[in-house]
A and B are shown apart, each in its own frame.
Chain A
Amino acid sequence: MNTAELSSVCKQVRRDIITMVANAGSGHPGGSLSMVELMTSVFYNHMRIDPKDPKNPDRDRFVLSKGHAAPCYYAVLAELGFISRDEFDNFRQLHSILQGHPDCKKVPGVDASTGSLGQGCSIAVGMALGAKQLKKDTRVYTILGDGECQEGQIWEAFMAANHYKLDNLTVIIDNNGLQIDGSNDEVMSLGDLSAKLRAFGFDFYEIDGHDLDAIEAALSAPVVPGKPRCILAHTVKGKGVSYMENQAGWHGKAPNEEQRQQALQELEG
């Protein structure tokens, strides 16, 4: 899909995020909006998947390690036809397949249940390792939060990805700079994140995470044999909705009716 088409999908995904979270009266809009371009690019232009055959053993895999960004995940899966848009009304409601955090037992197209931070990257490492073991050409993608990188297990997974030379793995960090209690730097500084990621041995890219061309370039660069890829994507939390942008307060809060209308208006055409 070209940049203009992707851009239009991104806009619809953002609207769906707002609708889902506003309907539910709870959810995580900020970190969902920051990763829209990243997730859309991966799903539309890179993953070998088929909505009609979501369990195909030869499909590529995706793990949303920052599982709280489920609204973005569900919106992309609906755009692709894995789930019906009718499900949006049930997000976070009793008996819904759309749990507050992704449940792979309930949602077609979801490969791992996530939400407890720090664990998804290790699951992705296991998938990539499994693909190597089975001599499959499966590619594995995972999106992490920057705040999530405060979890020590993330670094265990980074170590393992490089130790096992998982060049079929792409780790994307949605670096929006904010977490629940404030900025990363106030809460627990990650220091020089790019230097740390380079030091772990990744095939490393640092990009603007809303620039579809830059994302495409980083995702489609030739594989460096033996090296897992890491893309540090600088993003804006709440991207696309003026009053949510760069506001930690919109990490896990739903817009009221007036705010919903304003957001949807800003995300028109």
Chain B
Amino acid sequence: MSEKIATREAYGKALVDLGTQNDKVVVLDADLAGATMTKYFKAAHPDRFYDCGIAEADMMNIGAGLSTMGLIPFCSTFAMFGAGRAYEQIRNSIAYPKFNVKICCSHAGVSVGEDGGSHQSIEDIGLMRLIPGMTVIVPADANEARKATFALAEFQGPVYMRLARLATPVFEKEYPFQIGKANVLREGKDAAVFACGLMVNEALEAAKLLAAEGIEISVINMHTIKPIDAACVTEYAQKCGNVVTVEEHSVIGGLGDAVADVLMGKVCCKFKKIGVNDQFGQSGKAADVLREYGLTADQIAAKIKETL
């Protein structure tokens, strides 16, 4: 069993090193530094950390203003309050003028657990990918979250990065991270499984379960939802003829739709979306909540089997 680290934790630690390397990096939070893990940056670089109080809309626009001065602001809060509450600030004051603001939101998806449905954002990927020109990143593990954090600072323009509360296994193997370039983690002919975030690990575990039954699936880590790696999606859809998407997000508007948009009218294949089926989450231990919504490896394996 590999070590478990939450992507938010890796993000917080990466910010510290990024801040040491690049004095243009500033970090903003809305009274959740202890949860988004920007607390590490606050401790290491207090003069470049701005708490905006419980005022997410203000935080996004302050980030916009800071970016016009040549700084690189990372704005963090929970996905519900960033992508959700401050949606229009992100849309009009960051994305519309193409400002160089990095919106890094933790506590996305139902794996938030105990806090319940009010705090489990299952719409943020959809909201953010709807915005013209927005780049949307969902790291799959701690190593990827760290690499993505550095990549965001190098990238010019607005980015939304989705992070998780739950500590999950760090992949044994490290993969290169390039925005917009999907990583194929496992090859198999029976299905092309496109996953993002915590679901990449679940898909890999599902692949092992299926392999024991002689079923071989490809598992592709779609860490960039937008711009999506259309070449990779097309290639594996054609190769397998059977596409499954897995995300800890509503089946409406997220990774599944992004993959479907690539394939529609282009590739003839079977297609199934696995995610939260147009319903709100609820309180419970993260593992129990994930199981309730059908997002554990064995449940995913069973659903993939149905497509064969």
At the interface, yes or no: B61 with Cβ under 8 Å from chain A? Answer: yes
Q: Are A127 and B66 in contact (CB under 8 A)?
A: yes
Q: Are B68 and A119 in contact (CB under 8 A)?
A: no
List CB contacts (< 8 Å) of B56-77 with chain A.
Answer: 57-58, 60-71, 73
| Distance of A63 Cα from B93 Cα, bound (Å) | 12
Closest to A113 in B: B97
Q: Interface on chain B toward A: helix, strand, loop, or mixed SS? A: helix
Residues of B within 8 A of A61 (CB): 68
Provided the pairs A116-B92, A160-B52 are in contact, do residues A130 and B58 lie with their beta carbons within 8 angstroms?
no
Residues of A within 8 A of B52 (CB): 156, 160
> Smallest CB–CB gap between A47 and chain B, Å?
15
Residues of B within 8 A of A123 (CB): 61-62, 64-65, 68, 93
Residues of B within 8 A of A131 (CB): 69
At the interface, yes or no: A33 with Cβ under 8 Å from chain B? Answer: no
Residues of B within 8 A of A164 (CB): 50
At the interface, yes or no: A57 with Cβ under 8 Å from chain B? Answer: yes
Closest to A126 in B: B65
At the interface, yes or no: A198 with Cβ under 8 Å from chain B? Answer: no
Closest to B48 in A: A133
At the interface, yes or no: A94 with Cβ under 8 Å from chain B? Answer: no
Q: Are A112 and B58 in contact (CB under 8 A)?
A: no
Q: What are 14 A-B pairs with beta-carbon distances under 8 A?
A: A63-B65, A112-B64, A115-B92, A116-B93, A122-B58, A123-B62, A123-B64, A126-B68, A133-B26, A133-B71, A136-B69, A153-B89, A156-B52, A156-B53
Residues of B within 8 A of A129 (CB): 50, 62, 65-66
Binding stretch for chain B, among A37-45, A103-111, A181-189: A103-111
Q: Are B92 and A130 in contact (CB under 8 A)?
A: no
Residues of A within 8 A of B57 (CB): 118-119, 122, 153, 156
| Distance of A104 Cα from B48 Cα, bound (Å) | 26
Residues of B within 8 A of A159 (CB): 53, 55, 58
Closest to A132 in B: B69
| Distance of A129 Cα from B64 Cα, bound (Å) | 11
| Distance of A63 Cα from B68 Cα, bound (Å) | 12
> Smallest CB–CB gap between A69 and chain B, Å?
17
Q: Are B65 and A113 in contact (CB under 8 A)?
A: no
Those 10 A-B pairs whose CB atoms lie nearest each other, nearest first: A126-B65, A130-B69, A122-B61, A156-B58, A126-B62, A156-B55, A127-B65, A113-B97, A123-B65, A130-B66
At the interface, yes or no: A9 with Cβ under 8 Å from chain B? Answer: no
Residues of A within 8 A of B60 (CB): 122
Q: Are B92 and A112 in contact (CB under 8 A)?
A: no
Q: Are B58 and A160 in contact (CB under 8 A)?
A: yes
Closest to A138 in B: B69
> Smallest CB–CB gap between B139 and chain A, Å?
27
Residue among B65, B68, B69, B73 making CB contact with A122, cutoff 8 Å? B65
At the interface, yes or no: B205 with Cβ under 8 Å from chain A? Answer: no
At the interface, yes or no: B98 with Cβ under 8 Å from chain A? Answer: yes
Extra A-B contacts (11), CB below 8 Å, given A153-B89, A156-B55, A157-B61:
A119-B57, A122-B58, A122-B62, A123-B93, A124-B65, A125-B61, A126-B64, A126-B69, A133-B47, A133-B48, A160-B52
> Smallest CB–CB gap between A53 and chain B, Å?
16
Chain B CB within 10 Å, residue with most, of A61, A120, A129, A159: A129
> Smallest CB–CB gap between A170 and chain B, Å?
14
| Distance of A130 Cα from B89 Cα, bound (Å) | 19
Residues of B within 8 A of A130 (CB): 65-66, 68-71
| B residues whose Cβ falls under 8 Å from a Cβ of A | 26, 47-48, 50, 52-53, 55, 57-58, 60-71, 73, 88-89, 92-93, 96-98
| Distance of A156 Cα from B71 Cα, bound (Å) | 22
Residues of B within 8 A of A138 (CB): 69
| Distance of A112 Cα from B64 Cα, bound (Å) | 9
At the interface, yes or no: A199 with Cβ under 8 Å from chain B? Answer: no
Closest to B93 in A: A119
| Distance of A61 Cα from B67 Cα, bound (Å) | 13
Chain B CB within 10 Å, residue with most, of A123, A128, A129, A163: A123
Closest to B95 in A: A113
| Distance of A133 Cα from B26 Cα, bound (Å) | 9
Chain B CB within 10 Å, residue with most, of A112, A126, A128, A163: A126
Q: Are A105 and B64 in contact (CB under 8 A)?
A: no
| Distance of A119 Cα from B92 Cα, bound (Å) | 9
At the interface, yes or no: A4 with Cβ under 8 Å from chain B? Answer: no
At the interface, yes or no: A221 with Cβ under 8 Å from chain B? Answer: no
List CB contacts (< 8 Å) of A157-198 with chain B.
Answer: 157, 159-160, 163-164
At the interface, yes or no: A1 with Cβ under 8 Å from chain B? Answer: no
Residue among A115, A116, A126 making CB contact with B63, cutoff 8 Å? A126
Q: Are A127 and B61 in contact (CB under 8 A)?
A: no
Chain A CB within 10 Å, residue with most, of B58, B71, B92: B58
Residues of A within 8 A of B89 (CB): 119, 122, 153
Residues of B within 8 A of A120 (CB): 61
Closest to B30 in A: A156
Q: Are A105 and B65 in contact (CB under 8 A)?
A: no
Q: Are B92 and A113 in contact (CB under 8 A)?
A: yes
| Distance of A111 Cα from B97 Cα, bound (Å) | 10
Q: Are B97 and A112 in contact (CB under 8 A)?
A: yes
| Distance of A5 Cα from B55 Cα, bound (Å) | 43
Residue among B47, B48, B65, B88 making CB contact with A125, cutoff 8 Å? B65
